[in-house]
């Protein structure tokens, strides 16, 4: 195989998509992953990295367009680096996502013979996100947007992101204008100077309530009272306006003490008849409409009986645990974030649900130390993107539940966990994809395992 050289230009035919969304081409038997290409394209690409067994490239020129290629809708496409599948027709997006879930389970997990349900297509396809994070940067003017791909000092100054609502886009632009008027600079990580750091917007898609969380470095918030009065008057849907201070070097936007500038310290969202309190550090599925379909599929797989005892691991603010509580005798939830556990208890009380126990701690530790009078009949788990650790999976296996329902936002780490489950006697019965993130390579999955 002839290895391409860095900066070399190649004419390539794109045959498929790799996990993560890049086009796959082969030249003289050498695999080349091409950023910005879709299957069926013929492109001229420049090699950016030449590895021992593969190369990476980006499109320099489109020679022949794939029949599956469509015109991107967003004005920022190709600059901000997000929504990289905007150029791929939606039916093709769904088809490739489904195939990648199956391929991960078969090639990474070594699992075969499971039933594959039809993927649930996203609806709507645009303005579906209920949470979005932006960063400030100085540049020629104070900018507010998403980081440029591979760069952490500059951001794309976003005017209209089509993934979140027109209201929250307008709020972002208003906050940027105010920040510019103050004359204060954006935070600079290396020198640890400046003021403006992040803006986090959350929206209750079924309630209409909006949370605005402005994150700064240390210092007094300029003209806080007048700013809060003006912003809430211009946008009456703002139910929570808060100011967080991050004094660390870490470029993260959540988990810091905050001050309420206007309204409450939370908003409400409604999912499948539950009214849920959502606070700044809370985790919720970022696509409310598709979260309802995701939960419906998970509950269908669980097939709970009224006398059953169920675990919900990584339970967050209790959304799926409280839905399960309607169909079983008791739910036991575990979540590492203490504030989320507090909210889960509040949400249970507010919805008149009493057959629950929520505890705070690491899943691995809690499952090791817990003393149970009764083993769970089913376990629901929705781990972070990195999946569950091997020790966590082993603790789950040791509980001996007849059924496991695994919700995942990363098919590759789910497949790795599935391999460990299969080696311990669990059989993957069925898997179904739910498209929470149209125009991106990401896909959510629900899997049902039964003890053999």
Annotated catalytic sites, by residue? 409
- Distance between the two ends of the chain, CA-based, in angstroms? 45
DSSP state of 282: -
Contact (Cβ atoms closer than 8 angstroms) between residue 437 and residue 287: yes
Contact (Cβ atoms closer than 8 angstroms) between residue 197 and residue 239: no
Q: State the Cα–Cα distance between residues 251 and 152, nearest whole angstrom.
A: 9
Q: State the Cα–Cα distance between residues 68 and 15, nearest whole angstrom.
A: 12
Residue showing tokens 């039809």 = 118
Q: State the Cα–Cα distance between residues 353 and 189, nearest whole angstrom.
A: 46
Annotate 328-382 with DSSP letters as a single string.
SSEEEEEES-HHHHHHHHHHHHHTT--SEEEEES-HHHHHHH---SS--SEEEE-
E strands, 97-195, where?
115-116, 131-137, 143-147, 155-157
Residue showing tokens 């469509």 = 70
Classify the C-alpha dihedral 296-301-303-304 as positive or negative: negative
Contact (Cβ atoms closer than 8 angstroms) between residue 418 and residue 446: no
Q: Could you check whether the bond before residue 271 is cis, i.e. omega within 30 degrees of 0?
A: no
- Angle in degrees, CA 307, 310, 313, rounded to 5: 170
Q: State the Cα–Cα distance between residues 90 and 68, nearest whole angstrom.
A: 9
Contact (Cβ atoms closer than 8 angstroms) between residue 267 and residue 207: yes
Q: Could you check whether the bond before residue 20 is cis, i.e. omega within 30 degrees of 0?
A: no
Which residues lie below 8 Å from residue 33, measured CB to CB, with a gap of 6+? Answer: 18, 22, 23, 24, 54, 55, 56, 57
Q: State the Cα–Cα distance between residues 134 and 156, nearest whole angstrom.
A: 10
Q: Which residues pair with 272 in a beta bridge?
A: none
CA nearest neighbour of 79 among 146, 13, 179: 146
What's the distance, CA 196 to chain centroid? 25
Contact (Cβ atoms closer than 8 angstroms) between residue 323 and residue 304: no
């Amino acid at each position: 195989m002839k290895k391409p050289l860095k900066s070399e230009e190649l004419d390539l035919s794109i045959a498929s998509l790799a996990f993560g969304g890049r086009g796959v081409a082969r030249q003289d038997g050498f695999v080349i992953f091409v950023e910005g290409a879709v299957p069926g394209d013929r492109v001229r690409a420049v090699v950016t990295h030449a590895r021992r067994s593969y190369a990476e490239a980006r499109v320099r020129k489109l020679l022949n367009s794939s029949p599956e290629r469509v015109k991107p809708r967003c004005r920022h496409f190709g600059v901000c680096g997000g929504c990289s599948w905007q150029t791929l027709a939606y039916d093709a997006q769904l088809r490739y996502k489904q195939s990648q879930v199956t391929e991960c389970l078969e090639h990474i997990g070594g699992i075969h013979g499971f039933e594959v349900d039809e993927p649930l297509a996203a609806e709507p396809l645009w303005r579906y996100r209920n949470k979005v994070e932006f960063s400030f940067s100085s540049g020629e003017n104070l900018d507010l947007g998403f980081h440029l791909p591979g760069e952490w000092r500059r951001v794309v100054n976003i005017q209209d992101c089509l993934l979140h609502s027109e209201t929250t886009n307008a709020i972002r632009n208003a906050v940027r204008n105010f920040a510019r008027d103050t004359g204060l600079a954006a935070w600079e990580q290396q020198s640890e100077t400046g003021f403006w750091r992040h803006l986090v917007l959350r929206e209750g898609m079924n309630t209409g309530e909006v949370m605005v969380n402005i994150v700064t470095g240390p210092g007094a918030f300029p003209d806080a009272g007048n700013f809060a009065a003006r912003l809430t008057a211009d946008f009456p849907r703002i139910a929570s306006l808060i100011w967080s201070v991050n004094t660390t070097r870490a470029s993260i936007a959540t988990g810091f003490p905050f001050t309420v500038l206007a309204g409450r310290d939370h908003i409400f969202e409604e999912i499948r008849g539950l009214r849920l309190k959502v606070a700044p550090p809370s985790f919720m599925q970022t696509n409310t409409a598709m979260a309802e379909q995701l939960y419906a599929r998970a509950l269908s797989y669980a097939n709970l009986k009224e006398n059953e005892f169920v675990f919900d691991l990584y339970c967050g603010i209790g959304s799926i645990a409280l839905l399960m509580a309607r169909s079983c005798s008791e739910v036991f939830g575990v979540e590492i974030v203490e504030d989320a556990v507090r909210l889960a208890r509040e949400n249970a009380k507010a919805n008149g649900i009493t057959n629950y126990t929520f505890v705070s701690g690491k899943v691995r530790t809690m499952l090791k130390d817990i003393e149970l009078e009764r083993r769970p009949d089913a376990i629901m788990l929705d781990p972070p993107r990195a999946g569950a650790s091997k020790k966590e999976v082993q603790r789950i296996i040791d509980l001996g539940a007849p059924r496991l329902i695994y919700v995942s936002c990363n098919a590759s780490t789910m497949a790795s966990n599935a391999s460990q489950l299969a080696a311990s006697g669990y059989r993957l019965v069925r898997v179904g994809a739910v498209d929470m993130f149209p125009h991106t390579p990401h896909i959510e999955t629900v899997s049902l395992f039964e003890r053999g």
